[in-house]
Amino acid sequence: MTYGVSDHYQLRGRRILLGITAGVAAYKAAELARLLLRQGAQVRVVMTPSAHQFIGAMTLQAITGEAVRDSIFDAEHEAAMGHIELARWAELILVAPASADFLAKLHAGTADTLLHTLCLASQAPLAVAPAMNEKMWDNPATSSNIQALRRRGVRILGPGVGEQACGDVGPGRMLEPLQLLQAAADIFGTGRFAGRRAVLTAGPTREPLDAVRFVGNRSSGKMGYAIAQALLREGADVTLISGPVALPAPPGVRLVEVETAQQMHAATLQAVQVADLFVACAAVADYRPAQVAQQKIKKTRDTLSIELVKNPDILRDVAALPQRPFCVGFAAETHDLEQYAEAKRRDKGVEMIAANQVGEREGFEADDNALLVLWEGGHAQLPRQPKAILAEQLVSLIAERIDA
């Protein structure tokens, strides 16, 4: 497929600092630089010293037409504090590949390389494309580093799943250059939500019953994740607050992972303080066990009674804030769809409700869905179709209502 400069107009004139760390995937950085330049971006490359073992600086200099930087002790550039100038120059820092070592040091806030120093000194968005062996990616230390970086707003792009240079197969492959190109374009999106901040909840919640069991539901998170991707494509700055799902986060979102309704409630109220839009797509448990057993409950009786207490109402509490965002709720119903959805919209005091029928092979866990969208004085019926397409149509409706 051939891509012209009009395909990712968001990148025209943008100043992108491309960071390269030590890894076999470093060879892909040359193609990524070429694609970014083809879209009209300005690209400067900064390598870690070890990255030279995998790709030559001369190759990248020939592609970008800019000198490749790799040392903070470069007398030619540092006479006038060149690393600070470079940090201010960048509108986006994109590190691809990002090794496990680089991510660990980034989490710790070290500045022993020029690239780490720039990540600390720049106020530009920071995105990293991890690349490492699958066992390194699954290591608890790496997982902890990734979670901490996400909480700080670092965009984690990937990794992909597939065969690796060592012969292992699994998560850890760097995303392909075309995928990273799209992610960069999404970060600079200039669509209908450009300049707007969106907070979105997705997936189920799990309410612990004992050390091994929980009360949950069948939500897969597919609809919420599709909406997050659609908002990204329209230029929104997206924070995705997700319950436990088996889905990769869309490249470019700020992911906050939670498990219980109370955790989701706290994370949401914090995130919406600066939001323009809130979409409550998560299937939040209405109730939780009043008591959580510290050990596994043994099967010693024929019956077991569990007392449940009501969980906080996330959508209602956001809608009641003095300075609230535009609120979109979801209603999953087994019958009387429009009646219950409209009652929920009025009761919660929100601008829009997207209602869907749930049941056997409908709504939860499916790859397609249909929505009835209601607002004051109007409605729209979105027919059954893949959730990715449905999400784009819903986001279009939300944009119309916000602008109205």
- Please identify every residue annotated as catalytic: 166
Helix, coil or strand: residue 36: helix
Are 232 and 270 a contacting pair, CB within 8 Å?
no
Minimal CA–CA distance to 33: which of 68, 60, 70, 67? 60
Residue 368 bridge partners (DSSP): 386
Structure tokens at 43: 């690209």
Dihedral angle at the C-alpha atoms of 366, 367, 372, 376, nearest 10 degrees? 110
Residue 263 bridge partners (DSSP): none
Spacing of C-alpha 109 from chain mean position? 22
Minimal CA–CA distance to 168: which of 221, 123, 132, 205? 132
> Cα separation of 332 and 335, whole Å?
9
DSSP string, 336-384: -HHHHHHHHHHHHT-SEEEEEE-BTTBSTT-SEEEEEEEETTEEEEEEE
Structure tokens at 80: 């006038």
Q: Cis omega (within 30 of 0) on the bond before 383?
A: no
